[in-house]
Amino acid sequence: MRSILKRLVFLSLILLAGWAGTAAGDELHLSTFLVPYRSYTWNYWDNPVEGPIAYLPKRVITAAELGLDSLRQPRDIVVDEKNNHIYVVDTGNNRIVQLDLDWNLLRIIDGFMNNGTWERFSGPASVSISVEQDIYVADTGNSRVVHLGQDGSLKRILGSPHVGHEDMFPDTFRYRPFKIGVNDKGYMFVLSEDYFEGVITFDAQGIFRGVIGAPKVSVSPWEYIWFLLSTDEQKAKRNLFLPVEYSSFDLDEAGFLYATVASEEGDAIRRLNPAGEDSLRRYGFHRPIGDVRYTNMWQQSTYYGRSTFVDVTVFSQGIYSVLDRTRSRIYTYDDDGHLLFMFGYRGRAHGQVARGIAIDHIGLDLVVIDDERGQILVFEPTDYTRLILNAVELYNKGKYEQEEALWREVLKLNANYDLAYTGIGRSLLLQERFDEAMYYFKLGQNRSYYSRAYQEYRAIVMKERFSYVMTGIAVIIVLVMLWPWIKRRLGIQSREMTAAAKEAAWIALTGRTDFKGKALRLYHSLKYGLHVIFHPFDGFYELKYRQRGSVPAALVILILVTITYTLIRQYTGFLFNHNDPARLNILVELASVILPFGLWAGVNWAFTTLMTGKGTFKQIVIATAYSLIPIVLINLPLIVVSNYLILEEGAFYYLLTSIAVGWSGALIFIGVMMITHEYTIGKSIFTTILTLVGMVFTIFLGLVLLNLLELVYRFANEVFTEIAYRV
C-alpha cells in the first residue's frame, strides 16, 4: 500500500516537473544555425577527403522537453520501432524512461513489485526489449538483470552467472552488468564491468551458457620477447596481455553480435557469431577503426588519441554506425567494412555532442545520447546519404543496373566518393564494358576489380590483335635466324676480338688522358659491369686489380639506381603501384639510395680495416656499386611489364623484384667480402653481419645526434624569441 502511495506521489511530482519543464523548455531552431561539423571519408592514402554533410542535426531533446526534471548521465537508448517505443536509461536518476517515437513521455519505470515489496533500480546502465516486448534491465548497482513484462510486472531476476561456476571466473569477480541484449530466441548477452573475458551468455531459461568472444590476445613478437626475458616479478607487474574490453554491442537481424572495443589497440569492432568468432568483413581501405590519422598527446590538440568506440547500431543490410567518444564522431560502415561517411564533432555548440555514450537509430535517423549534458540528439540523413544507403542495399540485392544509376547520382554530389566509382565500375564490368570499368576502378582505387576488368580487356585486345602479335613474333624469329646472313650481305665486319686483343685495347685506353679517352674508358667500365654480374669471381677480381671499374662508373650506376626507383614509383602499373604520386620526391629517393649505400661502404670499410680486409674504401665503393647493376637491369623492364600484368600474375612481378634484390645481395657478398677483402666464406658472413649491425648502430647514433642538434636549435630559437619579445 505504502509503495503505491509512493508511486502516486512520485508520478504527481513528475507531472509537476513536466509542467514546469514544458514552460521553461523551448525547442531549438536548429535550421537557423550553421552545421557545426564536416563530413569526410578516408582515402587510399590516409588522407581525409571532404564530402557533403551526411547527417544534419534535426532535434535536440532535453529533459525539459520530455517533461522531466533532469536526465542525469543517461547511459543507454533503445528504439523499439515495431512497437513505437523508445527507452532511455536515465542512470543517474535510477530509472528507465519510456517514450513513443515522437518523443512523448509514456511512463517512468524506476522499480518493480517483488513479493509485495517495491524494489528500486540502482544505477541501471542498459535495457533490452525482447520480441514479446519484455523489458530486460541491467541493474548494475544491484548486480542483477531484471526481467519485466511490458506491464511492469516482474517476471524473474537473474543473478550473477558466477554462482555455481566459480571456477570460470576470477576470484575478484563482481557481477556488475552494464550492457544487456536479448535475441529472438530469448538468449541473453551481458557485459559486466571489470570483466574482460568476453560476453556472458544465458539461454532463454536463464541458465549460464558460458562466455563468448573471449578476445584473442594480441601480442607483438617484440612484446613476447620482452616477456620471456623478464623475471617472474616483472611478469607479474607487467600485465602485458591485457585483454580487450568490450564497451557495448548491438544485435543484428541475423542474431550476430556487433561489439565495440574500447581498448587502445587491435580491432575496435567485432562481429561475433553464436560461437563467439569474429566474422566482421574488413575490405575497406582501412580496418573500421574510426579515424585513420589522429593526434597524440604531444600535439596540443583539444582532443587527442585514436577513436574510442563506445556504442554501435546496426541497420539492415549489415550497415552499422559507430559512436566515437574521443571526438563524438559517428562513422558508418557498410557490411564489407567500407567507410561510407563520417560526421559529427565534439563540443557544446548546437548540434554537437559534448560526450557521446550511446547510439541507436529510428528509421534512418540516428539518435545519440550526450551524457554530459543529459540530452538526446537526433540527426537526419541528407539526400546524399539516402542515395548511398540505397545503392549499398541494391548492391546487396544484386540489382546492379539500378545501383549504377544511384552511384552516378552520388558522384554528381561528391566527385571524391571512391565507392561510387567502384560501384559504377562493377556495373560496367557486368556489362562487359571493360575499358570504362577500368577507368572507374582506377578512380575508385579498387585494385582487385581493376585487375579483373583488365584481365578481360587484355584478353580482348590480345584476341583482336592476335594476328599482329603472332606476325611480329614470327618476324623477329626469322630476323634472328637470318642475322649472320644479313650481316654478311651488308658487309658488316665482325668486331669479335680475342681476349688478348681486348686486353691490349683496354691497356691502351687506360693510358689516354684526353676527354674522349676518358669517356671511352667510362663506357667500357660500365659495359664491363655486364660481365661482372655474370662472372662475379673473375669480374670483381678484375675490378680490383686491373682497374676495370672506376669511381665515375660507380657513380653513374648509383644514379641509375636512383632513377630506377623514381621511375618505379611513378610509372609502375596501377595494380602494383601503391604510392601517392603527390608525395613523390626525387630527393627523397636519392637519399634513400645514397644513404644506405654510403653507410654500407663506410661501416664496412671501418670494420674491415680492423679485420685485415684487403680492400680500400674506393674498392669497396666500386664493388658495391657494380653489385647493384641487376637492380637496374631487372627493374627497368619490369616497370614496363607491370603495366600489362594483372594481380594474379603478381607472383611473377614480385619474384623478379626479389631476384633483383637477391642477385645484388649475393654480388655484394661475393664482390666485397670474398674478392675485395679476400675473406673466407665464414669470415665473410661474420663481417657482413657485423657491418649490418654497425649500420644499425650508426643510424641510432645519427638519430641521437640529430635529436641533440634539434634541441640545441630549439633552445637557441627560444632564447632568441624571448630576447626579441622582451626588448
> Please, are residues 247 and 232 in contact by the beta-carbon 8 Å criterion?
no
The C-alpha angle 197, 199, 200, rounded to 5 degrees, equals 100
**Binding status of residue 379 toward other proteins by CB under 8 A:** no
Our measurement of the distance from residue 111's CA atom to the centroid of its chain's CA atoms, rounded to an integer in Å, reads 45
Residue from 206, 212, 190, 186 nearest 138 by CA: 190
Q: If you search the block for the grid coordinates 512520485, which residue do you land on?
A: 10
Q: Does 32 bind other proteins (CB under 8 A)?
A: yes
Residue 607, number of CB atoms within 10 A of its CB = 18
CA dist., res. 706 & res. 710, Å (int): 6
3-state secondary structure of 94: coil
Residues 398-417 that bind other proteins (CB under 8 A): 411-417
Q: Smallest gap, in angstroms, from Cβ of residue 60 to other proteins? A: 11
Taking the least distance from each CB to other proteins, the nearer of 81 and 383 is: 383
In the complex, what is the shortest distance from the CB of residue 483 to other proteins, in angstroms, rounded to a whole number? Answer: 37
Taking the least distance from each CB to other proteins, the nearer of 38 and 235 is 38
Which part of the chain contacts other proteins (CB under 8 A), choosing from 50-58, 76-84, 330-338, 463-471? 50-58
- Site mask, other proteins, residues 552-571, x = CB under 8 A? -----------x--xx-xx-
Shortest reach from residue 217's CB to other proteins, in Å: 30
String of contacts with other proteins for each residue 662-701, x by CB under 8 A:
----------------------------------------
Member of 372, 380, 456, 649 binding other proteins (CB under 8 A): 380
Interacting positions 343-372 with other proteins (CB under 8 A):
345, 347-352
Verify binding: residue 594, other proteins, rule CB under 8 A: no
- Choose, by CB under 8 A, the member of 131, 242, 584, 640 that binds other proteins: 584
The sheet with strand 126-129 has its strands ordered as 126-129, 135-139, 144-148, 154-158
Residue from 7, 10, 17, 35 in contact with other proteins (CB under 8 A): 35
**Residues 227 and 240: beta-carbon distance below 8 Å:** yes
Under the criterion CB under 8 A, does residue 384 sit at the interface with other proteins?
Answer: yes
- Grid coordinates representing 154 are 516482474
φ and ψ at 102, to 5 degrees? -95, 15
Determine the interface stretch with other proteins among 173-181, 249-257, 610-618, 703-711 (rule: CB under 8 A). Answer: 703-711
Q: Is residue 300 near other proteins by the rule CB under 8 A?
A: yes
Q: What is the DSSP letter of 167?
A: G
CA distance 581 to 448: 20
Backbone angles phi, psi at 77, to 5 degrees: -140, 135
Tell me whether residue 501 or residue 709 sits nearer to other proteins (CB atom): 709
Stretch that binds other proteins, among 140-148, 496-504, 671-679, 706-714 (CB under 8 A): 706-714
Maximum Cα interatomic distance, the chain, rounded to a whole number of Å: 124
- Which grid cell is 582? 603527390
Given 3, 7, 17, 56, the residue binding other proteins (CB under 8 A)? 56
Q: Which of 153, 172, 302, 467 binds other proteins (CB under 8 A)?
A: 302
In whole angstroms, the minimum distance from the beta carbon of 658 to other proteins comes to 24
183-187: long-range pairs with CB below 8 Å, 24+? 183/251, 183/255, 184/131, 184/255, 185/255, 186/130
Under rule CB under 8 A, residue 591 binds other proteins: no
619 backbone dihedrals φ, ψ, rounded to 5°: -65, -35
User: Is 305 within 8 Å of 289 (Cβ atoms)?
Assistant: no
723 binds other proteins (CB under 8 A): no
In the bound state with other proteins, the residue whose beta carbon lies nearer, of 37 and 189, is: 37
Binding of other proteins by 58 (CB under 8 A): yes
Q: Of 48 and 665, which CB lies nearer to other proteins in the complex structure?
A: 48
For the record, the C-alpha cell of 430 comes out as: 557486368
- The nearer residue to other proteins, 123 or 351, going by C-beta atoms, is 351
Smaller CB separation from other proteins, 420 or 625: 420
Min CB(531)–other proteins separation in Å:
30
Closest CA to 175 of 190, 185, 186, 153: 190
The reply on whether position 718 binds other proteins by CB under 8 A is yes
Which position among 3, 7, 17, 43 is part of the footprint of other proteins (CB under 8 A)? 43
First to last CA, the chain: 81
Partner residues linked to 202 by β-bridges: 188, 208
Can you give 399-420 as a three-state secondary structure string?
CHHHHHHHHHHHHHHCCCCHHH
Q: Nearer to other proteins by C-beta: 256 or 343?
A: 343
Q: Which of residues 162-191 bind other proteins (CB under 8 A)?
A: none
Count of residues of this chain found to bind other proteins when the rule CB under 8 A is applied = 79
- Residue type for 663, please? W
- Residue 107's H or E segment, with its range, is strand 105-109
Per CB under 8 A, contacts with other proteins among 237-296 are 291-295
Measure the CA–CA gap between 546 and 703, rounded to whole angstroms.
Answer: 40
Non-local CB neighbours of 78 within 8 Å, separated by 6+ positions: 86, 87, 127, 128, 129, 360
> Binding pattern to other proteins, positions 416-455, x when CB under 8 A?
xx-------------------------x------------
Q: Which of residues 523-542 bind other proteins (CB under 8 A)?
A: none
Least distance CB 266 / other proteins (angstroms): 21
Of 84-92, 463-471, 583-591, 614-622, the window that binds other proteins (rule: CB under 8 A) is 583-591
C-beta of 31: minimal distance to other proteins in Å?
A: 4
For residue 7, give Cα distances in angstroms to 14, 324, 325, 344. Answer: 10, 38, 36, 40
